[in-house]
Amino acid sequence: MVAKIAIPVVSLLLVVGIVIGVVASVNRSAKDPAADENLSPHMKAVTQICQPTNYKDECMKTLSGANSTDPKDLIKAGILAVAESVKKSFNMSDDLVEKAENESNRTKTALSDCKELLQDASDKLQDIMEKVGASDISTIANRSEDFRIWMSYVISYQELCVDGFDEDSTVRTDVRQSTEVGSQLTDNVLTILGGIQQVLSSFGLKLNLTSLASAGGDQDDHHRKLLSKENGGYPTWMSAADRKLLASNPKMTPNAVVAKDGSGQYKTISAALAAYPKNFQGRYVIYVKAGVYAEQAKVAKGMKNVYMYGDGPRKTIVTGHLSYAKDGLGTWKTASFIVEEDGFIARSMGFQNTAGPEGHQAVAVRSLSDRSAFINCRLDGFQDTLCYQGGRQLFRNCVLSGTIDFLFGYGAVVVQNSLIIVRKPMENQFNTVTADGRKERGQPTGIVIHNCRIVPELKLTPDRLTVKTYLGRPWKAYATTVVMESQLGDLIQPEGWKPWAGSMFLDTLYYAEYGNRGPGASTARRVTWKGVHSVLSRSDAMRWTVDSFIQGREWVANTGANVIYGLKA
């Protein structure tokens, strides 16, 4: 996990048609509400929509040139500004690639990765713009959580780009500067969408919105509307194919069968995925027979709603050994199994990276699949086992093992009813279960560990009290991690959490615990950082359930998972 890139920040400011006099007028109105009378209707609209944002100056500069009082047009202008910023970062990284002749191989690799990642960010923004264009403001408001998750992908791509460089790289610093404004502009859009009800009220719009809650909101009415007796109790938006999948046995008739012994249609998972039909509708079901599949399999863009199941997590195994230290790859490129498309489901399979602790960053699974689930699966590795890169993800009835930061990423993930195994690291190393990468305040992301057990592996057991293990450390400024209703072994250090570097992020992170049990669950000696909430109230804990945090009631039933939507007790 890692890195940054440089051009003057001024060149990145998206001053969309701003005149100094207009900015001065806006600044006066911010200080003196009476000055609003002197503003044009457009600038009043801009002031209203920018009010809740965390980077107001950037918001005002961006939207001043939109020449509209329509909130939808202003939201579109905000997204277009992000796209323009990403384009500038891409062009700069492209220039740096040409000038990188004297840089290290790792820097050259990171720059090449940046081009790919920033292109991915641009593609995502294009997709979001198409969805916004096809929606009225009521639909955008109703789907605000979807749009917030999708916009958060942009930050994850930018951060993966930056994180590919060594910490002491001057190029990293340059890259960080080039992506910073884009990150701030994205946060502004996220914040506007997060408070869309208040934003629309300020415009005098009162809509009958079915879902306006951000993480923690009460969506019971919304859920009742989604569930329809006419559809057999399934959500009204669920396709007939998905209802059929849910009603059937998990081991349903596959579209493709993979078997190493030749008894299936394909001998590799990659070959079965390559056969995914163009413009396929419904679920593409792949049955992977027992065997060890040494391949870097990827559910690529365009392969939507893949359902992949095996003969058990210790029988059907996808394995790899790529790593940051041994192979010189960016962390994100080391994954044994990659999911890049939405709606993915894995059941009864194992995924591993065998690079060992010496490989340092070595990912078993990297997923940026929104509304995806891993059920009865096993993920084994050491450092960085799971990268939840983006989207809303559920891990249910799984086994996840590792050492340092082995559950890390930028998405919104709930790990529920699972066994989390802490492994033995190298000499003089410590263990951290999580390292969340939420960078901006407005992101609806983080990791929740719910009704799980955290235990040491057998090799660590004799040294579990001397090899220090922590619940997590803050990888990014707004790192968000909640551990609730879980069994914590005595290997968890009394202070609970570890700093990333000095006092960095300790005031902005959000770390919380609720209803945990076991010898490692005592909060009496937990760290007392501003962002730590060692004793969470029940109402606050409800914000982090499958139901509220990842809007699970809207889609988890589609995965066939027997899930706890609220709190256990």
CATH number for 80 = 1.20.140.40
| Cα–Cα dist 339/390, whole Å | 10
Q: Is the pLDDT of residue 227 over 80?
A: no
**Residue 140 domain-assigned?**
yes
Which of 90-94, 152-156, 287-291 has the least mean pLDDT?
Answer: 90-94
User: Does 359 share its domain with 497?
Assistant: yes
In the DSSP assignment, the letter for residue 381 is: -
User: Does 179 share its domain with 278?
Assistant: no
| Largest CA-CA distance found in the chain, in angstroms, rounded | 78
**Residue 362 domain-assigned?**
yes
Contact 377, 355 (CB under 8 A): no
- For residue 450 the two structure tokens come to 């719910």
**Strand, helix or coil for residue 484:** strand
| Cα–Cα dist 554/235, whole Å | 7
Q: Note if 405 is an active site residue.
A: yes
Which of 17-26, 66-75, 396-405 has the least mean pLDDT?
Answer: 17-26
**Residue 213 domain-assigned?**
no
Residues in Cβ contact with 344 at an 8 Å cutoff, skipping those fewer than 6 apart: 299, 305, 306, 307, 308, 367, 369, 372, 373
Element (H, E) at 435: strand 431-436
User: Does 194 share its domain with 254?
Assistant: no
- Say what the pLDDT of residue 240 is: 53
What CATH number is attached to the domain comprising 479? 2.160.20.10
- Say what the pLDDT of residue 561 is: 84
User: Does 321 share its domain with 447?
Assistant: yes
| Cα–Cα dist 483/134, whole Å | 39
Percent of the chain whose pLDDT exceeds 90: 76
User: Does 193 share its domain with 272?
Assistant: no
- Say what the pLDDT of residue 237 is: 39
- Say what the pLDDT of residue 244 is: 52
Q: Write down how long the chain is.
A: 569
- Say what the pLDDT of residue 242 is: 53
Give the mean model confidence (pLDDT) for residues 18-45: 54
- For residue 414 the two structure tokens come to 């709930």
Which of 122-131, 195-204, 271-280, 327-336 has the least mean pLDDT?
Answer: 195-204
What pTM was computed for the model?
0.88
Q: What pLDDT, in 10s, does the model give residues 468-486?
A: 999 999 999 999 999 999 9
**Residue 232 domain-assigned?**
no
Nearest to 490 by CA among 456, 525, 526, 514: 456
Nearest to 449 by CA among 525, 395, 370: 395
| Cα–Cα dist 299/306, whole Å | 8
- For residue 301 the two structure tokens come to 């863009």
Question: How many Å separate Cα 346 from the centre of its chain?
Answer: 18
**Residue 341 domain-assigned?**
yes
Scan for tokens 């501003």, then name that residue.
530
**Residue 542 domain-assigned?**
yes
Question: How many Å separate Cα 263 from the centre of its chain?
Answer: 38
Q: Note if 242 is an active site residue.
A: no
User: Does 19 share its domain with 137?
Assistant: yes
| Cα–Cα dist 86/152, whole Å | 13
Out of 202, 219, 249, pick the residue that ends a domain: 202
Confidence of residue 213 (pLDDT cuts 50, 70, 90): very low
Query: What are phi and psi for residue 50, nearest 5 degrees?
Result: -85, -10
Give the mean model confidence (pLDDT) for residues 384-412: 98
- For residue 176 the two structure tokens come to 């960080």
Which of 207-221, 267-281, 311-325, 511-525 has the least mean pLDDT?
Answer: 207-221
- Say what the pLDDT of residue 38 is: 75
- For residue 169 the two structure tokens come to 């790289």
Pairing of strands 392-396, 510-514: unpaired
Element (H, E) at 406: strand 404-409
User: Does 147 share its domain with 291?
Assistant: no
**Residue 133 domain-assigned?**
yes
User: Does 168 share its domain with 246?
Assistant: no
Task: Give 245-250's long-range contacts (Cβ < 8 A, gap of 24+).
Answer: 245/283, 245/307, 245/558, 245/560, 246/557, 246/558, 246/560, 250/309, 250/347, 250/348, 250/560
User: Does 417 share its domain with 550?
Assistant: yes
Contact 417, 454 (CB under 8 A): no
Out of 150, 184, 202, pick the residue that ends a domain: 202
Contact 391, 367 (CB under 8 A): yes
User: Does 185 share its domain with 263?
Assistant: no
Say which of 146, 187, 384, 547 is annotated catalytic: 384
User: Does 358 share its domain with 471?
Assistant: yes
Out of 202, 225, 260, pick the residue that ends a domain: 202
Scan for tokens 């930061």, then name that residue.
405
**Residue 212 domain-assigned?**
no
- Say what the pLDDT of residue 203 is: 81
Give the mean model confidence (pLDDT) for residues 320-339: 97
| Cα–Cα dist 198/209, whole Å | 12
Question: How many Å separate Cα 235 from the centre of its chain?
Answer: 24
Nearest to 379 by CA among 317, 327, 450: 317
Domain enclosing residue 178, as ranges: 9-202
Domain count within the chain: 2
| Cα–Cα dist 154/132, whole Å | 16
First to last CA, the chain: 36
Residues in Cβ contact with 78 at an 8 Å cutoff, skipping those fewer than 6 apart: 59, 62, 63, 185, 188, 189, 192
User: Does 387 share its domain with 464?
Assistant: yes
Say which of 120, 187, 405, 436 is annotated catalytic: 405
**What's the number of CA atoms in the CB half-sphere (13 Å) around residue 30?**
15
Residues in Cβ contact with 230 at an 8 Å cutoff, skipping those fewer than 6 apart: 236
